Structure 1
């Protein structure tokens, strides 16, 4: 830390450090953290756990959690990884040297900062199995034991969610959850949408063809089941890109009009998104959902489930349609596809693409810089009378 008065300190890269909970999956959270590193491109970038094999060429992390025992726990995963993060983040000595800290993820909340450090914490989601998805444990074996474990995790986080000066979240949905489940005052939270490289997608990437498209990890919370079953009742072609633990089961229940593509690279993804009649999305209470935004940036209408952030990425009749999940009231996905086939949407491809600009990389950079500047300003502890003595005439 510098001895310079708080009022004169800045959020320049020389005084700022970025830290991400861990590079584990090359998922949306990792990509957002790497973009944070680009926002402050001269600042050091730490990761609780580093996996250089998935890092982009222009980002290089330094591993924060060190020590043979902790590293073995990180590699093992599961509860061992959670304990390693809990212990590793509390002190996190390299981070304490900087005036401003920007973190990504929940695990950094275990960090205990020095009192003169400004901290901005980007939160991707609350601990979902301990908050909005708690009811899911009813369908799992040993649910009472699971409830006890989830309670323990909630208690741990309840004592560690109030130290940052400012929280930044990826959607209004997550803002609501951070207020409700973590008790963070609403005035300490700002919404900055994740960065989607909307400029790399275009309606001109491919002519519209005769298929619907979805892209995601094939896992239970993406609810690809509902999409497959809907298209089993339709005479429409559906292409599914992505892989995951549900793939074999999904292939068994799918009819011949549903085709599984597996992993697709970025070039093929752009072509598939632009060429689809519509993109179909059914993720459960999505915190944000990047794939629908990529589809919109490609000028492709979205048929999205009416929940989570997805419901606000779709404007009914203009850039797509919203459907109700099976068992909820409202039009089903099958009915929505039929309506789309009959009515189409009102906006042109270019109008749909321009709607996605609010989620661009540039908007993310501006929002993060504004949040850091605000946090630095509001965390100033310099007494007003002391500032008066700094003027030349006193």
Structure 2
């Protein structure tokens, strides 16, 4: 391991685990491209979802821990807690860049520089506490949430520099993890904004939502909003809520399921607007992809989504409600008033979230962390005579 003013030679990337080809996985894979020669270690490996140019090595091994990784959230967290602490393959690198919360259990060598990219704070530590019910079950959940906070509170101060994927997540890291503000930078996730264009398709006569069909994406509110509207909604993506969503959907709602990248580009560019209702979203890549395709965004006024919209210019925000009426009003406003920016101006707005911006900011972050972690004494470079007796010898003369 290097020290002092020696150049940094070795960088390793470590990601908590490959699971659903989601935003966190894509950030980790892009980190491997930022630091081209850096190996990528993962807590849990799934080669079936890896891009062709990415190779990984699983860092959590052993029959019991690998079994636990496939179980419920509590057992899975226990496996990460044990598996990451030592993480032997990571220990010989000058710089470690981690992705996700679970690698925070790692205990690094003193001189290793550590940059930690955080996609979200554990929601059991923060806003999900509002969803805990009363009675015995609620009390058990509160106890479990408390244990989660205790586990993470003791493991969120070791990195030299934290990177939050949005200002919202930075705020949560300060409040719930107690990390000093000056120790956190915001680096937006890399969105392939160059891969989307208004020219991918002519604007059609439908609205689009695209996400994993899971409870926290609140697609049910979007589907309800189009009930009684003489407008078509395309729901792209798959997930555990799909059957329930199809049950409540009207005839003007089409379920496209999982779509290929080429189909996705055409759907985004061809939509009249993209509708997003994710709960307190930490960042949200799909809305940015829609903007990169020159498509207006209708999004819930919370989380990072509210800041991806300049109201009236590239879309409209709406307040969350259970009936879908607020979304319905935003659709009607979009129909009646349109948006001020044209598709090229909307496309340009998305460039602040580009892959190139991510690469530049990541290199800057590692340079900053390395400089700040240098513990070479101030006087070291001024020493001319290495002999500890030189002062005594001069005195005798």
1:185 alignment counterpart: 180
1:369 alignment counterpart: 363
2:214 alignment counterpart: 219
What are the ranges of 5 or more consecutive residues in structure 1 without an aligned counterpart?
none
| Secondary structure, aligned partner of 2:256 | strand
1:381 alignment counterpart: 375
Instruction: Kindly state the Cα deviation for residue 359 of structure 1 after the two structures are TM-superposed.
Output: 0.5
Instruction: Kindly state the Cα deviation for residue 327 of structure 1 after the two structures are TM-superposed.
Output: 6.4
Number of aligned residue pairs: 387
1:47 alignment counterpart: 42
Instruction: Kindly state the Cα deviation for residue 222 of structure 1 after the two structures are TM-superposed.
Output: 0.5
Instruction: Kindly state the Cα deviation for residue 132 of structure 1 after the two structures are TM-superposed.
Output: 2.0
Normalising by structure 1, we get a TM-score of 0.95
> CA RMSD, aligned part only?
1.9
Instruction: Kindly state the Cα deviation for residue 390 of structure 1 after the two structures are TM-superposed.
Output: 7.0
Instruction: Kindly state the Cα deviation for residue 51 of structure 1 after the two structures are TM-superposed.
Output: 1.2
Instruction: Give CA-to-partner distance per residue, 1:310-343, whole Å, 9 cap, x none.
Output: 0000001100011111169x98111111111011
Matched, 1:298 2:293: yes
2:328 alignment counterpart: 334
2:113 alignment counterpart: 118
Whether the 8 Å contact between 2:69 and 2:79 is mirrored in structure 1 is yes
2:128 alignment counterpart: 133
Matched, 1:7 2:1: no
| Secondary structure, aligned partner of 2:316 | strand
Instruction: Kindly state the Cα deviation for residue 77 of structure 1 after the two structures are TM-superposed.
Output: 4.3
Instruction: Kindly state the Cα deviation for residue 93 of structure 1 after the two structures are TM-superposed.
Output: 1.2
Instruction: Give CA-to-partner distance per residue, 1:207-234, whole Å, 9 cap, x none.
Output: 0010000001111110111111111031
Normalising by structure 2, we get a TM-score of 0.94
| Secondary structure, aligned partner of 2:379 | helix
2:92 alignment counterpart: 97
Whether the 8 Å contact between 1:324 and 1:331 is mirrored in structure 2 is no
Which moved further from structure 2: 225-234 or 151-160? 225-234
Write the distance in 2 (CA, Å) between the matches of 1:202 and 1:369: 27
| Secondary structure, aligned partner of 1:199 | helix
Instruction: Kindly state the Cα deviation for residue 139 of structure 1 after the two structures are TM-superposed.
Output: 8.2
Whether the 8 Å contact between 2:221 and 2:322 is mirrored in structure 1 is no
Residue 197 of structure 1, aligned match among 192, 213, 236: 192
Whether the 8 Å contact between 2:124 and 2:148 is mirrored in structure 1 is no
| Secondary structure, aligned partner of 1:363 | helix
Q: Who wins on radius of gyration, i.e. which is larger?
A: 2
**1:249-268 equivalence runs, <5 A:** 249-268=244-263
Instruction: Kindly state the Cα deviation for residue 391 of structure 1 after the two structures are TM-superposed.
Output: 11
Write the distance in 2 (CA, Å) between the matches of 1:380 and 1:45: 25
Which moved further from structure 2: 359-368 or 332-341? 332-341
1:248 alignment counterpart: 243
Matched, 1:229 2:224: yes
